[in-house]
C-alpha cells in the first residue's frame, strides 16, 4: 500500500525491496528503514508514553525488535502495519512495567521538558498565542496519558497517525466493528476529560 | 433516538464513514438537540486538534544509537548461535568428546576402586562401620578416625618397647599413623611361663570368637610367627567380658577404656602386640 499521510512521509514505498535485501544479507537496508520510519515510531511512542526519554528508549527497543525479527517477516501484512503493531505492544508493555509506573508516580510529565515544543514557541510570531497553544497541547497530552492503553492506542493510530479502521484492526488484531465502537468510546472519554480541563 | 445512541454515532459521523441511515439520524438530531450538537462540535474540534498536533523530532543521534544497540546485541546473538540450536543447548563436538572421555575415565577408575579386593594387610573397615568408644580419656584426635588403637604387651617383662611401625612389613590401612592415635598399654603378664606369643594370640582369637566378635585384619612383622597387630570387632554388650577374659592372661596398664552407658554399637579395636624380647 502506497499512501501519503499528513506529514508527507510515504509509507510502503520500497519496503518490500529493502526487507528482501536485508533478508539476503544487506544489513544496510535496515538502516534505510530506520531512517524512513524513525519519526513516526518516535512520535507514536512519545504520544503513547508522554515522556521524551521514555519515548526514545521505547522506539529504540522497537527497532531492535524489528531487526531481530525481520528475517522471519513473510509479507503477510504490510511492513508499516507490522511496525506499528510492534510499537503499540512495546509501549503497552512499557506502561505496564513497574519501572514506568514508578516514573509516572514520581515525576510530573511536563511538555516543557520537550525541546521541540520550546523550539516551536520560539519560531512563531505571536508568543502569547503560542503559549496558549503550547498549554493546550500539554493538557491534551495529559488527557491522552490518562486513557487506558487500549483506548490510547486506537486514538493515536486514528487521529494522530491517520490510519484507516482496517489498518488499525490489523495492528491491534480486532475486527472492524470492534475498532469503530472502541474508537467511538475512546473519543467520547477523551472529549469528556478535555472538557473538564480545557 | 436517544442522545446516548447519537453520541456513539458521532465518531463515525465526524470521520464520514457513517452509513446513510445513521447520517440522516445524526443530522436531524443535532439540529434539535443543543447538548448533542455541543458534543459533536467539541469532539470535532478535538479530532482536528489531534490531527494537527506538532510532530516531535527524533533525537539527532537516534539512528546511531539503534545501530549501536543492534551491534552489541549481535555479539550476544552470535554467542547464542554457537551455543544454542532451536532453543536447545548446542555443545561443541570437542567439548562433548572431552566430557564423554572424562566420564568414562571416572567410571572405570571408580569401578576399579570399589571392586578392588582388600589384601590381608588392609584394615577392611568401611568408615561408617567404624565405631569409636566415646570416652573422654581418648585423645580427641582419635575420634572419628578409626578403631581404638591398643598396644598389647606379650609377656610382662619390664622395659618392653613397642615395635616401631617402620619395622613392619605390612601395617594397617594408612588411615591414621600410630603417632596420632591414643596409645593404651595393655600390660599382660604371662599366665604360664614359657608360653609362646603365638599361643597367647591363639587364645585371644578364641576369646574373640567366644564373645561373638570377629577378626577384621592382621598385620605381620618380618621374621615373626605371630601377628604384629589384630584388628577386631567386639559386640558392645560383650566388651567387658572380652576384656575380663583377656585379663586372664595378665593385667592392663593403664586400664582399658570403659564404654559409655547405653552404648550399643560394635566396638572396633586394633591391638598391637609388643615383643618382650
DSSP state at residue B57: P
ipTM value of the model? 0.83
Read off the C-alpha cell for A44.
507514536
pLDDT at B36 over 90: yes
Sequence-distant (6+) residues with CB within 8 A of B139 are B181, B182
Burial class (CB in 10 A: 0-12, 13-18, 19+), A101: exposed
Which residues of A fall within a CB distance of 8 Å from B59? Answer: 42, 56
| DSSP H helices in B33-179 | 34-51, 62-83, 93-115
Model pLDDT, residue B152: 58
Model pLDDT, residue B97: 85
Q: Do A116 and B54 touch (CB under 8 A)?
A: yes
Read off the C-alpha cell for A17.
525491496
End-to-end CA distance of chain A: 38
Name every residue in A having a CB less than 8 A away from some CB of B.
6-7, 30-31, 34-35, 38-39, 42-43, 46-47, 52, 55-56, 59-60, 63-64, 67-68, 114, 116-117, 120, 136-137, 140, 155, 158-160, 162, 165, 180-181, 183-185, 187-188, 190-191, 194-195
d(C-alpha A44, C-alpha A158), whole Å: 11
Higher pLDDT residue, B79 or B44? B44
d(C-alpha B66, C-alpha B74), whole Å: 12
Best B39, B55, B73 member to test A by mutation, with max A CBs in 10 Å, is B55
Can you say how many angstroms the Cα of residue B79 is from the centroid of all Cα atoms in its chain? 33
Sequence-distant (6+) residues with CB within 8 A of B208 are B214, B215, B232, B234, B242
Determine contact, residues B133/B263, Cβ cutoff 8 Å: yes
Backbone dihedral angles phi then psi of residue B126, each to the nearest 5 degrees: -70, 145
> What's this model's pTM, rounded to 2 decimal places?
0.55
Best A66, A184, A196 member to test B by mutation, with max B CBs in 10 Å, is A184
B158: confidence class by pLDDT, cuts 50, 70, 90: very low
Using the CB atoms, write b or e for B239-248: b if 16+ within 10 Å: beebbebbee
Sequence-distant (6+) residues with CB within 8 A of A2 are A10, A11, A12, A13
pLDDT in tens, B238-256: 888 888 887 766 555 556 7
Nearest to B39 by CA among B74, B10, B72: B10
Q: Do B51 and A39 touch (CB under 8 A)?
A: no
d(C-alpha B272, C-alpha B217), whole Å: 12
- Calculate mean pLDDT across residues B157-178: 35
Q: Do B11 and A187 touch (CB under 8 A)?
A: yes
Lowest mean pLDDT among A71-75, A152-156, B60-64, B185-189: B185-189
**Average model confidence (pLDDT) across chain B:** 69
Block means of pLDDT (10 residues each) for chain A, length 198 residues? 42 80 92 94 95 94 95 91 96 84 59 50 67 86 93 96 95 95 96 86
Higher pLDDT residue, B258 or B134? B258
Q: Do A155 and B39 touch (CB under 8 A)?
A: no
Model pLDDT, residue A67: 94
Instruction: Please work out, in degrees rounded to the nearest 5, the angle formed at the alpha carbon of residue B39 by the alpha carbons of B37 and B40.
Output: 65
What is the nearest CA distance from B89 to chain A, expressed in angstroms? 20
Do the strands B267-274 and B148-153 form a parallel or antiparallel pair, or are they unpaired? parallel
pLDDT in tens, B89-104: 666 677 778 888 999 9
* SS3 state of residue B160: coil
d(C-alpha B7, C-alpha B30), whole Å: 10
Model pLDDT, residue A73: 92
d(C-alpha A93, C-alpha A99), whole Å: 11
Model pLDDT, residue B205: 83
Amino acid at each position: 500500500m502506497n499512501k501519503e499521510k499528513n506529514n508527507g512521509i510515504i509509507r510502503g514505498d520500497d519496503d518490500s525491496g529493502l526487507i528482501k535485501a536485508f533478508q539476503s544479507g544487506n544489513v544496510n537496508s535496515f538502516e534505510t528503514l530506520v531512517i524512513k520510519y524513525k519519526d513516526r515510531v518516535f512520535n507514536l511512542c512519545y504520544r503513547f508514553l508522554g515522556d521524551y526519554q521514555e519515548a526514545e528508549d521505547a522506539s529504540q527497543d522497537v527497532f531492535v525488535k524489528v531487526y531481530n525479527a525481520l528475517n522471519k517477516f513473510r509479507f503477510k501484512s504490510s511492513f508499516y502495519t507490522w511496525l506499528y503493531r510492534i510499537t503499540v505492544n512495546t509501549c503497552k508493555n512499557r506502561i505496564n512495567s513497574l519501572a514506568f509506573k514508578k516514573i509516572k508516580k514520581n515525576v510530573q510529565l511536563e511538555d516543557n521538558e520537550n525541546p521541540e515544543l520550546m523550539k516551536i514557541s520560539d519560531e512563531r510570531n505571536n508568543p502569547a498565542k503560542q503559549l496558549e497553544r503550547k498549554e493546550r497541547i500539554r493538557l491534551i497530552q495529559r488527557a491522552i496519558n490518562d486513557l487506558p492503553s487500549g483506548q490510547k492506542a486506537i486514538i493515536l493510530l486514528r487521529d494522530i497517525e491517520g490510519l484507516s479502521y482496517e489498518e488499525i484492526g490489523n495492528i491491534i488484531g480486532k475486527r472492524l466493528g470492534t475498532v469503530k465502537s472502541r474508537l467511538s468510546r475512546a473519543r467520547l472519554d477523551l472529549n469528556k476529560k478535555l472538557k473538564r480541563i480545557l | 433516538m436517544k442522545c446516548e445512541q447519537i453520541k456513539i454515532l458521532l465518531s463515525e459521523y465526524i470521520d464520514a464513514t457513517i452509513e446513510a441511515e445513521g447520517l440522516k439520524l445524526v443530522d436531524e438530531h443535532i439540529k434539535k438537540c443543543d447538548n448533542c450538537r455541543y458534543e459533536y462540535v467539541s469532539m470535532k474540534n478535538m479530532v482536528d486538534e489531534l490531527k494537527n498536533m506538532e510532530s516531535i523530532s527524533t533525537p539527532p543521534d537516534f539512528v546511531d544509537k539503534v545501530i549501536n544497540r543492534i551491534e552489541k546485541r549481535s555479539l550476544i546473538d552470535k554467542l547464542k548461535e554457537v551455543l544454542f540450536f532451536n532453543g536447545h543447548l548446542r555443545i561443541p563436538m570437542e567439548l562433548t568428546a572431552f566430557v564423554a572421555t572424562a566420564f568414562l575415565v571416572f567410571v572405570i577408575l571408580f569401578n576399579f576402586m570399589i571392586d578392588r579386593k582388600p589384601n590381608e594387610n588392609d584394615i577392611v573397615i568401611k568408615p561408617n562401620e567404624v565405631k569409636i568408644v566415646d570416652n573422654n580419656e581418648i585423645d580427641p584426635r582419635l575420634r572419628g578416625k578409626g578403631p581404638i588403637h591398643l598396644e598389647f604387651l606379650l609377656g610382662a617383662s619390664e622395659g618392653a618397647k613397642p615395635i616401631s611401625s617402620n619395622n613392619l612389613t605390612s601395617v594397617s590401612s594408612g588411615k591414621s599413623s600410630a603417632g596420632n592415635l591414643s596409645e593404651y598399654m595393655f600390660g599382660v603378664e604371662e599366665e604360664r611361663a614359657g608360653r609362646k606369643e603365638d599361643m597367647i594370640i591363639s587364645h585371644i582369637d578364641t576369646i574373640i570368637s567366644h564373645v561373638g566378635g570377629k577378626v577384621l585384619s592382621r598385620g605381620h612383622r618380618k621374621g615373626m610367627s605371630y601377628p604384629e597387630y589384630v584388628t577386631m570387632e567386639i559386640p558392645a554388650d560383650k566388651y567387658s567380658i572380652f576384656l575380663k577374659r583377656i585379663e586372664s592372661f595378665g593385667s592392663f596398664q593403664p586400664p582399658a577404656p570403659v564404654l559409655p552407658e547405653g552404648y550399643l554399637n560394635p566396638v572396633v579395636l586394633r591391638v598391637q602386640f609388643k615383643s618382650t624380647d
